[in-house]
Amino acid sequence: MNTPHSSPLLSKERGKFLPPVIIILGQTATGKSNLAVKIAKQINGEIVSADSRQVYKGLDIGTGKITKKEMKSVPHHLLDVVDPKKKFTVVEYQKQAISAIADIAKRGKIPIICGGTGFYIDAITKGIIFPEVPPNNKLRQSLLQKDATALFHTLQKIDPVRAKNIDPKNKIRLIRAIEIAKALGKVPEITQATPVYKFIKIGLYLSADLLKKKIEKRVKKMFNPPTGGGLLAEIKKIKKLGVSDKRLKEFGFEYYNPTPEKVINETLKYAKRQMTWFKRDKEIKWLDASKIDTIKVL
């Protein structure tokens, strides 16, 4: 496990040049991937994904994963790294992302972190120390019997601060947060330390109306892509690989009994939670995604 003393992203040394790492973040459907590729082409960069579901193989349409064509030959890291039947923790993400960033920088290129999972981004840029709380299987089994709403209410009672920044429908994260809170009294706050990289955070935003239109367009394409197949075909394929209905539910609304209307509504709620998380970070330079082609980012 990484600590502020052992992580290659953290250092006590001051007064020296810090290699840059660019962060492209924001709500879903704001064009983060396209901007990241554009910047990477300009500055000889490589992209490290910061998306908690795009790490899984086969979850392409539902997660809006960038295609090979859209990558435009720019190397991408932390996509398709784990079987969807397995669970990939933020600790594992932190370890692999740190390694990828260090390797990119070592080769003289600029690392670009791109994604909408705020917890993943904070794990890299803020030197999070993850609590050493072992699994409590007895507690987990009892919590698994409850639905997400009940779990969320439980977390609100024992750790209201953590409850403000968690997906209220993600049972796995809710259970882990409750597990940690019961063991330590609360989920520890993020610990920050001096980085050995200069993190440049660029956030993309859209007006509520425009964001809704883009989400509706994306969801329509999910269900009726021009190449055929679509989200329902993807779900069928994933099930054939042995992924259970329970696991599909953990991946989110796109993969559990989806309909266009349901996916649109839940995506809008998800986008709202994303912005709630990002608004806490005062280091982010926000840009209007509708005018990104006319703005000089770097």
Could you tell me if 21 and 101 are in contact, meaning their C-beta atoms sit under 8 angstroms apart? Answer: yes
Question: Number of folded domains in the chain?
Answer: 2
Q: What is the CATH number of the domain that holds 37?
A: 3.40.50.300
Last residue of a domain, one of 140, 172, 187: 187
Question: Are 87 and 149 members of one domain?
Answer: no
Question: Are 149 and 243 members of one domain?
Answer: no
* Structure confidence at residue 11 (pLDDT): 45
Strand, coil or helix: 25: strand
Last residue of a domain, one of 155, 187, 219: 187
Q: Within a domain: residue 251?
A: yes
d(CA 139, CA 116): 30
Question: Are 117 and 216 members of one domain?
Answer: yes
Question: Are 124 and 202 members of one domain?
Answer: yes
d(CA 286, CA 77): 24
Q: Within a domain: residue 36?
A: yes
Q: Within a domain: residue 64?
A: yes
Question: Are 88 and 230 members of one domain?
Answer: yes
* Structure confidence at residue 12 (pLDDT): 45
The residue behind tokens 């998380």 is 277
Strand, coil or helix: 116: coil
Q: Within a domain: residue 215?
A: yes
Question: Are 67 and 127 members of one domain?
Answer: yes
Q: What is the CATH number of the domain that holds 171?
A: 1.10.20
Question: Are 151 and 250 members of one domain?
Answer: no
d(CA 32, CA 35): 5
From first to last of its 298 residues, the chain has per-residue pLDDT tens of 333 334 445 444 455 678 999 999 999 999 999 999 999 999 999 999 999 999 999 999 999 999 999 999 999 999 999 999 998 988 899 999 999 999 999 999 999 999 999 989 998 998 766 666 788 889 998 998 999 999 999 999 998 888 887 888 888 889 988 998 888 776 555 555 566 899 999 999 999 999 999 999 999 999 998 877 899 999 999 999 999 998 998 898 999 899 999 999 999 999 999 999 999 999 999 999 999 877 666 6
Q: Within a domain: residue 4?
A: no
**Tokens coding 155:** 């977390």
Last residue of a domain, one of 142, 164, 187: 187
Q: Within a domain: residue 6?
A: no
What is the pairing mode between strands 198-205 and 20-26?
A: parallel
Question: Are 156 and 251 members of one domain?
Answer: no
Q: Within a domain: residue 201?
A: yes
> Whole-model pTM?
0.80
Burial class (CB in 10 A: 0-12, 13-18, 19+), 209: exposed
Q: Within a domain: residue 15?
A: no
d(CA 172, CA 202): 29
Residue at 180: amino acid letter: I
Question: Are 33 and 88 members of one domain?
Answer: yes
Q: Which of 72, 40, 77 is nearest to 55 (CA)?
A: 77
Question: Are 92 and 33 members of one domain?
Answer: yes
Host H or E run for residue 93: helix 90-106
Question: Are 104 and 35 members of one domain?
Answer: yes
Distances (CA, A) of 190 to 1, 3, 122, 183: 15, 12, 8, 17
Percentages helix, strand, coil for the chain (3-state, rounded to 5) are: 45, 10, 40
Distances (CA, A) of 208 to 117, 265, 271, 286: 20, 13, 10, 15
Domain boundaries, position 142: 132-187
Question: Are 168 and 258 members of one domain?
Answer: no
End-to-end CA distance of the chain: 34
